Structure 1
Amino acid sequence: MDNFFYISLNIKTLSGFDSYATYSLGSDKKQAATIFNQLKGSSELSHKTILTMDLTEMSDGIPFPLKMIECTFQDIIYNTKIITREIFKNLNLDTD
């Protein structure tokens, strides 16, 4: 089974963090990391953290979290634009 990468958006609820959106990034680890590294947010999580985005590798059905950032609402808006732009480029401008 191939590995693939995705970014999930998570929100803090009464029962903990719940994922409310997922962006599939494909199977290229370098490309996935390049996208995630463009995102705004802080790696300094605290008890006040409400919104997070994380980069995860799925391998043989097992998720392996790679990076997580705390985000503001404005960060989520900015990051969604970046992710959408990069996915569009990767899907439409691929020269393989």
Structure 2
Amino acid sequence: MKTDFDLMISFRTPSGFKRCAQYFLGTDRKFAESVFQQLTGHEDHTGQAVLHLDLVESSSGLPLRLRTLCCKLSELSDNCALVTKELFRQQAIRDESHPIEKRGS
């Protein structure tokens, strides 16, 4: 059974939270959790947070929220940069033992 991990970004509206972005973190739980642990924010015990970051595990199409982090807009900007950097590092940068093939070869 395939399990996917996503980072869902949502904001509070008068009718509840609305998703505004989603990062696909892949199928590696360890990677997804390590990225989430690096994010800046706080747990909202008062229920007043405006922005939420949710780590979501989906198995057989059924989503399960694993953790939630609340942040300010400035923190969201930093968090998006961090997630993009980590995804790029994981997907695009290969170590020297696995060189990237040249196009057309």
TM-score, scaled to structure 2: 0.86
Secondary structure of the structure 2 residue equivalent to 1:85: helix
| CA apart distance, 1:31 | 0.2
| CA apart distance, 1:94 | 4.7
Q: Which segments of structure 1 move beyond 3 Å, counting only runs of 4 or more?
A: none
* Partner Cα separation in structure 1 for residue 94 and residue 2 of structure 2: 19
Equivalent residue, structure 1, for 2:49: 49
* Paired-residue identity, %: 31
| CA apart distance, 1:93 | 2.4
Q: Alpha-carbon deviations, 1:28-63, whole Å to 9, x = none?
A: 000000000000000134232111101000100000
* Partner Cα separation in structure 1 for residue 11 and residue 18 of structure 2: 6
2:31 partner amino acid: Q
Secondary structure of the structure 2 residue equivalent to 1:36: helix
* Partner Cα separation in structure 2 for residue 66 and residue 52 of structure 1: 13
Aligned length: 96
Matches within 5 A, 1:1-96: 1-94=1-94
After superposition, the CA RMSD in angstroms is 1.4
2:41 partner amino acid: G
2:32 partner amino acid: A
2:67 partner amino acid: K
1:31 partner amino acid: F
Gaps of 5+ in 1: none
Select the structure with the greater relative contact order (CA < 8 A; seq sep ≥ 6): 1
